[in-house]
Chains A and B, each alone.
Chain A
């Protein structure tokens, strides 16, 4: 069974649309993360959750709204996005968010904003 899954794998949306990205981890981890990966740029940490509590909001615009209903699921709600938001959005999980735990990544959602 795949450790971290993400849906959809690809998404095209207009600037006025509202959509949601979903992440699910089957590893029994307590921490989950959202990253943005743009071409030729380093991964950028967006949000971190530990046991459904947000512990990090890395100066992300409010048009990105995370939700963590339980420790296995993480959502990223998108609204009124800009073309520069087109990127690969990666979800990851780790056993805990304290200490240097290995993070396990999902395959990502490739987002294109028109």
Chain B
């Protein structure tokens, strides 16, 4: 089976940095995705990592270590609009994605 673990909730202050960790154990690996989902809305694509290392995209960065089965999503200069659920998803093979339960981030003023 596939096992994707991420923290349930995190709280941070506006302007701060938050790091959301994701660990995975899957039967194969074909890439790791991060999605953002605001309450009542569609999950939206944030990042995709298939090679080890850090991918930076504006205020958001995603890191992958395949040997450790570990990824993190780094949110910098937090804004109130960043309050959302962040979903880690691993593609074990082809089209199938195994999702974590999501991390709810609350940004406080």
> What residues make up the interface of A, taking CB atoms closer than 8 Å to B?
4, 31, 40-43, 45, 48, 55-56, 90, 94, 96-108, 110
Contact = CB atoms under 8 A, between A and B. Distances in A.
A98 B42 contact: no
B33 interface: yes
7 shortest interchain CB distances as A-B pairs: A97-B95, A105-B42, A42-B99, A100-B31, A43-B99, A100-B91, A107-B42
Contacts of A97: 94-95
Contacts of A96: 95
B4 to A, nearest CB: 7
B64 interface: no
B42 A90 contact: yes
A94 B101 contact: no
Interface residues of B, number: 26
Interface of B: 4, 8, 30-31, 33, 35, 40-45, 48, 50, 87, 89, 91, 94-102
A90 B94 CA distance: 20
A104 B102 CA distance: 17
B100 A102 contact: no
Given A40-B8, A100-B91, A45 B44 contact: no
Contacts of A48: 95
A55 to B, nearest CB: 8
